[in-house]
């Protein structure tokens, strides 16, 4: 199946289903339903069944879904049934926090290199990794066959870093920089901006209670 034939919003929901299934499995549950998954995520059961139908039939009416089987199928669909190597650009406070985020490993990703341009950071160890000079980016990307990178650099440096990643063959970027990146259309980009999330919630709050 052509990956581009599936609506992107459907692909964005699949990791939510996968995480919920893992939670259910960890709790010792072997069977679930679209209704139960939907109740946990705030998504309708009908929508879940429709999303899954793009990829085949995974359950039977009246018996639900086998938790382990559906989890394995979603891992294959998302191609996280084996590990992807990641490069992290930025060894500051944010970069160090990202390196300590254990869920990357659980989700099928391994940060195998951290790079920076700051001479005071290059050569230092963060956990099991030594900070490398960003000038070594081309050889690091080639050596570890990296297609995905994380950007955790100051805003003013983000576009330059993103351009450098694209030039060495990176195909997907997770950016913590709070600016839009101007990149070729074939590059997959996801932005994480906690400030946007916070500001979208304060609209609903009572300012007098601050």
Query: If one looks up domain 86-196 in CATH, what number appears?
Result: 3.40.50.720
Q: pLDDT tens, 32-89?
A: 999 999 999 999 999 999 999 999 888 776 678 999 999 999 999 999 999 999 999 9
Q: pLDDT tens, 106-132?
A: 899 999 999 999 999 999 999 899 999
Kindly list the domain boundaries of the chain, sorted by start residue.
3-77, 86-196
- Could you tell me the two tokens for 153? 């650099």
- Could you tell me the two tokens for 81? 């049934």
Measure Cα distances from 25 to 16, 32, 41, 71, 164 in Å: 14, 10, 16, 9, 41
Q: pLDDT tens, 81-108?
A: 999 999 999 999 999 999 998 889 889 9
**Residue written as tokens 């950007």?**
151
Q: What is the mean pLDDT of the chain?
A: 93
pTM over 0.75: yes
192 vs 115: CA distance, rounded Å: 20
Architecture of domain 3-77: Orthogonal Bundle (1.10)
């Amino acid at each position: 199946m052509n990956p581009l034939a599936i609506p992107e919003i459907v692909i964005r929901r699949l990791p939510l289903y996968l995480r919920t299934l893992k939670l259910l499995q960890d709790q010792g549950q072997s069977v679930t339903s679209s209704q139960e998954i939907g109740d946990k995520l705030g998504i309708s059961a009908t929508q879940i069944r429709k999303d899954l139908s793009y990829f085949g039939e995974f359950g039977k009416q009246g018996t639900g879904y086998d938790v382990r089987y559906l989890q394995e199928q979603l891992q294959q669909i998302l191609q996280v049934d084996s590990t992807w190597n990641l490069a992290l650009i930025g060894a500051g406070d944010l970069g160090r926090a990202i390196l300590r985020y254990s869920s990357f490993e659980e989700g099928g990703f391994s940060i195998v290199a951290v790079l920076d341009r700051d001479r005071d950071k290059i050569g230092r160890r963060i956990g099991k990794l030594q900070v490398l000079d960003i000038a070594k980016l081309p050889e690091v990307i080639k050596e570890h066959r990296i297609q995905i990178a994380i950007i955790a650099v100051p805003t003013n440096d983000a576009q330059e870093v993103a351009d450098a990643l694209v030039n060495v063959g990176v195909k997907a970027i997770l950016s913590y920089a709070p600016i839009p990146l101007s990149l070729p259309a074939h590059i997959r980009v996801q932005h994480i901006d906690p400030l946007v999330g916070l500001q979208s919630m304060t609209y609903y709050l009572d300012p007098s209670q601050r």
